[in-house]
Chains A and B, each alone.
Chain A
């Protein structure tokens, strides 16, 4: 079993929809949780970063961490065609220097 599981999609939604992206993980020691957005033929760019459990909001994006269920989510409100990209979740432990990535979910927002 991989440490981080992420549904690869693809996910296709109409413009303005609410998008929910999710990852599950197996290592209860993970404390840092990140979401990256990757456009085609570009490097991943950090979108959201949270420590431990709870919610974090930044504009149209909300990251949620449920450590009891080992489940993290990224919500995108009022989705735009410019949100079309691959979204990767990543996580690391308090003491580790390695990061563990999901395989990414491909999202297309249709105008």
Chain B
């Protein structure tokens, strides 16, 4: 499972509140990713990181920010949660050693009321 954990696994929050999701990996992978998964849309990239303090936007970055102060942790923050951000959020890492595949965490189910 590439040693990826996500916390919390489930969260219910109210519109307008800030929310932070955490992704933690134990195998020193350089690249980390945040996706959201919604019916009919599949997996869509929110942000990704290619090193400590190095991040870039993905397809659906509006309303989200990220931070990576340590190799093992990649945080996703919803500045002011909206109902349209109700989704399942997955963290992923990119394999190393010449392979170019991704491995995913177990996901965080977020509901914004």
Is B78 an interface residue, CB under 8 A from the partner? Answer: no
Say which size band chain A's interface belongs to: 20 to 34
Say which size band chain B's interface belongs to: 20 to 34
Q: Could you mark each residue 23-58 of chain B with 1 if its beta carbon is under 8 Å from any beta carbon of chain A, else 0?
A: 000000001010000001111110010100000001
Is A101 an interface residue, CB under 8 A from the partner? Answer: yes
Binding stretch for chain A, among B14-22, B61-69, B100-108:
B100-108
Given A97-B31, A98-B48, A98-B58, decide whether A46 and B101 contact each other with a Cβ distance below 8 A. yes
In Å, the complex CA distance between A42 and B48 comes to 21
Is B90 an interface residue, CB under 8 A from the partner? Answer: yes
In Å, the complex CA distance between A88 and B19 comes to 28
Most buried by B among A6, A90, A99: A99
**Looking across the interface, which residue of chain A has its beta carbon closest to that of B106?**
A43
Report whether over half of chain B's contact residues are helix, strand or loop; otherwise say mixed. strand
Contact indicator B50/A43 (Cβ below 8 Å): no
Q: Which of A45, A49, A97 contacts B48 (CB 8 A)?
A: A97
Residues of A45-102 contacting chain B, CB below 8 A: 45-46, 49, 51, 88, 90, 92, 97-99, 101-102
Interface, chain B (partner A; CB < 8 A)? 31, 33, 40-45, 48, 50, 58, 90, 94, 99-107, 109
Interface, chain A (partner B; CB < 8 A)? 6, 8, 32, 34, 36, 41-46, 49, 51, 88, 90, 92, 97-99, 101-104
Q: Which 3 A-B pairs have the closest CB atoms?
A: A103-B42, A43-B104, A101-B43
